[in-house]
Structure 1
Amino acid sequence: MPRTASVEAMKHYIPGELLRERKARAPDDIHVEIHAHAPVQEPVVVPAVPEPMLVWIVSGEAVVEERPLGGDWLAVPVRHGDFYLTTSPAPVEMRWRSTGAAPFCVMHVYLGLPLLARVVKEHTGKELGAFALREVSGERDAVLAGLFQALHAALSGATPATPGFVQGMAQAITAHVVAHYECSTDGRPVVRGGMPAHRLRRVLDAMHAGLAEPFDLGRLAALAELSTFHFSRVFKQATGMSPSRYFVRLRMDEARRLLSDTAMSVLDIGLAVGYASPSHFAQVFRESTGTAPSVWRGARQAR
C-alpha cells in the first residue's frame, strides 16, 4: 500500500517546542519550522512528504536513529551544521539522544513542488516526474549551511523576514539542492502527492487541541479542504494510520506525558484525553502500551 503524502516533521509528529514558523502563503513558498527537542526521544513515526524536506541541526549534538516501519535501526551521530534531506515515499520511525550540553534544536525546510518543478526544468531540462533527489542523513554542505544560517537568523530576529527574502532563500536552496543532490531514477516515474505541509499541520493542530473532544472526521477533512474519503486516504498514506487511529495515538502520547510529568490522577488524565469512562481509558491505554496506566506510571517513577 503506498504511503506517500505530506509533510514535515511537524510539532505533533516529533515532540518538542515550536520556536518559529514561516507558513507557506503560496505554492512556491518554503515552509519553515524551528524546533527545540527533548534530550531523549522515544520512537516516533514521521510521515512521508511530497515536498523535499531538509532538516538542519541548529545547535547541539545527538545520535539520531531512523528506520523504515518495522525495519532495522540506523544510527547517525549529528552536530550543529549537519543536515538531512528526504523525499521518502513511506513513513519512518525516529528516536534520538543528545550527547552534548547544548540544546538540541533543528530547522525543518520544505520546498514547494511548483518551485521545485521550475528549478528542475531550468537546470536539467527534465519534468519533475522524471527527477529524484537522493536521501541524505547527517552530512555537511558549506553552501547549504550558509543559506540555512541566513534563513534561521532572519526568522529568529526581532524584525520578521519579508516574503521577498524568504522567497529568494527558497530559490537559492532549491537551486543548490537540484544541482548537487540529484539521484538517478533509471527512467522510472517519481511518485509524489498528498496534502501540502501547511494543510496537514492545520489538521494536526486541530487534533492536538481537541484531544478531550470526540473524533470528528468531517471537521478534519474540511480543515484539509478535502472530501472525507480523499482526506482519509492521503492521511493514511502520510502516516501509515487512519485519522481515527492516529487521533488515538495522540491521545495515548499525551496520556503518557501526563503520567510521567504531572501528579494528575489517572481518572483526570483519562478525562483530559477524552475518556469519561476510567475502564475504557485503561483498556485503550493497555492496548497501546501493554500495561495499565497506574502500572506504567509506577514503572516510570522507579527508573
Structure 2
Amino acid sequence: MIASPERLRDDLEDRDERAASAQFTAIWPTGRAELGISACPRTTEFIFSSEDHCLVFLIGGGAERAEMRIGEGAAASSSIRPGSAWFIPAGQTVRSTWRSSGLLRYIRIFLSPASVCAVARVSGWESVGGGQPDLVADPDIRNPEILRIAAEIGEETRRQGKGYQAYLRGLAQCLVVQLVRDQIRPRQRDCDDCIARRGPNAWRIRRAIEAMEARISESLSIDELSRVAGLSPFHFSRQFKLETGRAPNRYLVEIRIERAKLLLVANLDWPLPMIAEAVGYRSASQFSAVFRRETGRSPGAFRQGVQALSVGTCLPGSLSRG
C-alpha cells in the first residue's frame, strides 16, 4: 500500500501531542529520516541548515502565509498545506516566517552529498572541475514522484518492519535520482541554450528530442522522428545535426544510455532484460554490447561500482562527507 500524508498524520496524532518534538527516526548508510511533530505559535521564525541535503514534506498543520528564503535565493511567499514540500541543498540556510498555530507534522529526509554525488557523476551530471554537483533549492516541490517517495519513506520510518533499513536505502536512492533529474540538468540546459541560439527550425528539433525522451522504450526511426518534427527525413537529419552537433541516432543512443544508468542506480533488483526493454533495446545482449561500447563497462560492473560508491564515499576530486 502506498503511504499517504493522512495516514501518517493520524499515526502521529495517536502519540502525545503535548510532546512538541515526538519523533520516529530511521537511519541508513547514506541518510536518515525524521517523522515528527513541532509546536508552532501564531507567528514563528525558523532558521535551518544542514551538512546534508534535506527534503521537508508537510503531512499535517500548515500556515496561512509563509515566507521562505533558501540560501541567496529570492524570498517566496505562499500558503503551506499538507502535501507541501521544499528542498534545501547541503550547506544552505533556510529562513522562514510562518503565520499559523497548532502543531506541524512533518517528514524530514536527509541525504548525504556523497550519495547525490555518486548518482550525478555516473549519470554525466558532474559539476565543472569535478567537485560536488550543484543542486538548486526549491521552496515548492511539485514532482508527484518525489512526493510519493517521501510519503513512503515516512511510512517506513514509522513502521520499521523487518529489513526497513534496506528498504529505506532503496527508496532514498530513487529519491536521489528524482532530485538529480529535477534540480540539476546541465546537459538539458546546455541543449536548450544551444537550440535557443540557433535557426528557425530549432523548435522542430526540440519536439523530436522530447519525443525521444518520452518514447525511449520504443524503436524510433528517422522517418518517425522527422514526422514529429514536420520535416523531410533528409532535412530533419541535417537540421538535427546543425542544432545539436550530433546525428539523431547518435543522440538517441546517448539518451538511452543515460536513462539506463539511472535505472541501474535506482532499481537494483531489476534484471538486465527489464532495463534493456525500458530503454528501447530488443535484448539484454544488445543492450549490454551498446552499454559496454559507450561506457567501457558492462551494465553489471557499472551497477556494482555504483553500489560501492553509494555506501558513503564520493569519487576523487569531490567533497565527501566526514
TM tier relative to shorter chain: 0.3 to 0.5
- Which of these two proteins has the greater Rg computed from alpha carbons? 2
Normalising by structure 1, we get a TM-score of 0.47
Normalising by structure 2, we get a TM-score of 0.45
Q: Which has the higher helix share?
A: 2
